[in-house]
Copies of this chain bind each other. A is one copy, B any other.
Amino acid sequence: MHFNLSEVQEKEIMPGYHGKMIHSDHITIAYWKADKGAKVPEHSHLNEQIMQVLEGSFEFTVNGVTGIYGPNEVVVIPPYAKHSGKALTTCKLMDVFSPAREEYK
């Protein structure tokens, strides 16, 4: 199974968050472009998540601890951990989830 990300359709999953999703049986990868100022409201899910900032500056709160992350920074979000975020600049982000994120299919 092979994808070219330039041909994967973008979905605006939340206001200001434009994502391209790759799903396999056990993994979802979401490649996001986030508009400056766009917020992810606090939420949680059973899926383990690893978030990487590819470009820009992203404020991210996990279990009440807030950090500001830039390129090369990676945050692990355990299953059911409450987390929220805000794009301080336009951002490119990548999220990896396991199990696959059914709501994004």
Contacts and interface: CB of A to CB of B under 8 A. Distances in A.
Contacts of A78: 24-25
Chain copies in the assembly? 2
Interface in A41-100: 48, 50, 52, 67, 69, 72-76, 78, 96, 98-99
A9 interface: no
Interface residues of A, number: 26
Interface of A: 1-6, 22, 24-27, 29, 48, 50, 52, 67, 69, 72-76, 78, 96, 98-99
14 contacts: A1-B75, A2-B73, A3-B75, A4-B72, A6-B72, A24-B76, A24-B78, A25-B48, A27-B27, A27-B50, A27-B96, A27-B98, A29-B74, A29-B96
